[in-house]
């Protein structure tokens, strides 16, 4: 069985695959060993570990140590690449791209025979465009919902509000409404720009992943929700790399 790990700056998702069948999966925090608890019964059956991470080097080393205590199976970290199977990275220096973006793009590229937009709505929102010919056309990185909420709480401390997942974009009639509707208004504007870009570039599909994927769809994003797109791409790449 193969353990797949998508590790962000503080939290991670994992999935245990057995020849394409999902045996178990979960989420956890990088600095808490409890996320390993669900893997205990399978530890001696893990044949390999594949990791996609954007965490700092210190956290990456901590993660490697946790995995080494769990299993003696080899641990492989996968990063962004210049190209793979027709998908060409638009970055001049691909090492500057977050691994999660590349792995999500690769999964999208492999499942779509047309140009595709890939939206990852996590702590930050990333948007990447891939042409029908496999050329990465570039993208955007924006603050996600929780990041914007934290910013308002920290830098505008006198603005008292109760955060929510509001999808209402009408003008607010209280401070709480003004904040929550304002965040939805900003997100809806982003959704409109994505649709414009997709049309302009002649792309045929939008895939969205990440914790706020449903919120973006609720605010009008015309997309297919692919909840584990990063892990899907990681699985494909690790399998390809292990072929003789």
Does residue 116 contact residue 130 with C-beta atoms inside 8 Å?
A: yes
| Positive/negative CA dihedral, 155, 156, 160, 161 | negative
Question: What rounded mean pLDDT belongs to the chain?
Answer: 94
Does residue 32 contact residue 19 with C-beta atoms inside 8 Å?
A: no
Please report whether residue 8 resides in a domain.
Answer: yes
> What does the pLDDT look like over 147-191, one tens digit per residue?
999 898 888 878 888 888 889 999 999 999 999 999 999 999 999
> Mean pLDDT, to the nearest integer, of 58-66?
92
pLDDT band at 67, cuts 50/70/90?
very high
Query: Which residue in 17, 100, 197, 238 is the catalytic one?
Result: 100
Output the pLDDT for position 185: 97
Q: How many structural domains comprise the chain?
A: 2
> Binding-site residues for ATP, please?
6-13, 123
Same domain, yes or no: 167 and 185:
yes
Please report whether residue 242 resides in a domain.
Answer: no
**Is 100 labeled as catalytic in the residue annotation?**
yes
139 class by beta-carbon count within 10 Å (0-12 exposed, 13-18 middle, 19+ buried): buried
Same domain, yes or no: 71 and 90:
no
Domain final residue, candidates 48, 78, 108: 78
Domain final residue, candidates 51, 78, 105: 78
Same domain, yes or no: 157 and 40:
no
Give me the phi and psi of 5, to 5 degrees please: -130, 130
Output the pLDDT for position 168: 96
**C-alpha to C-alpha distance for 238 and 48, rounded to whole angstroms:** 10
Same domain, yes or no: 168 and 211:
yes
CATH number at residue 173: 3.30.420.40
**C-alpha to C-alpha distance for 146 and 150, rounded to whole angstroms:** 6
> What does the pLDDT look like over 70-111, one tens digit per residue?
999 999 999 999 999 999 999 999 999 999 999 999 999 999
Same domain, yes or no: 18 and 74:
yes
Same domain, yes or no: 138 and 124:
yes
Same domain, yes or no: 112 and 202:
yes
Same domain, yes or no: 170 and 195:
yes
Same domain, yes or no: 13 and 66:
yes
Please report whether residue 243 resides in a domain.
Answer: no
Please report whether residue 241 resides in a domain.
Answer: no
Output the pLDDT for position 223: 98
Residue numbers of the domain that contains 46: 2-78
> Mean pLDDT, to the nearest integer, of 110-119?
91
Residue 244 in this model has a pLDDT that exceeds 90: no
> Binding-site residues, please?
6-13, 91, 98-101, 120, 123, 175
């Amino acid at each position: 069985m193969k353990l797949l790990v998508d590790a962000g700056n503080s939290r991670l998702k994992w999935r245990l695959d057995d020849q394409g069948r999902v045996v178990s999966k979960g989420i956890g925090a990088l600095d808490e060993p409890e996320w390993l608890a669900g893997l205990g019964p399978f530890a001696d059956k893990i044949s390999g570990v594949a990791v996609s991470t954007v965490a700092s080097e210190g956290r990456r080393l901590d993660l490697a140590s946790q995995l080494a205590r769990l299993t003696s199976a080899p641990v492989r970290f996968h990063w962004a690449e210049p190209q793979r199977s027709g998908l060409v990275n638009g970055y001049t220096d691909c090492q500057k791209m977050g691994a999660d973006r590349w792995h999500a793009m690769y999964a999208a590229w492999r499942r779509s025979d047309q140009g595709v937009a890939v939206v990852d709505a996590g702590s930050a929102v990333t948007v990447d465009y891939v042409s029908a010919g496999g050329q990465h056309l570039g993208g955007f990185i924006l603050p996600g919902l929780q990041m914007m909420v934290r910013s308002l709480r920290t830098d505008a401390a006198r603005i008292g509000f109760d955060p929510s997942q509001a999808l209402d974009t009408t003008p607010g009639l209280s401070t709480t409404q003004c904040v929550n509707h304002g965040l939805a208004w900003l997100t809806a504007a982003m959704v409109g720009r994505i649709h414009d870009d997709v049309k302009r570039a002649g792309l045929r599909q939008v895939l969205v992943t990440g914790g706020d994927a449903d919120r973006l769809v609720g605010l009008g994003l015309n997309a297919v929700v692919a909840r584990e797109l990063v892990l899907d791409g990681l699985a494909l790449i690790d399998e390809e790399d292990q072929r003789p």
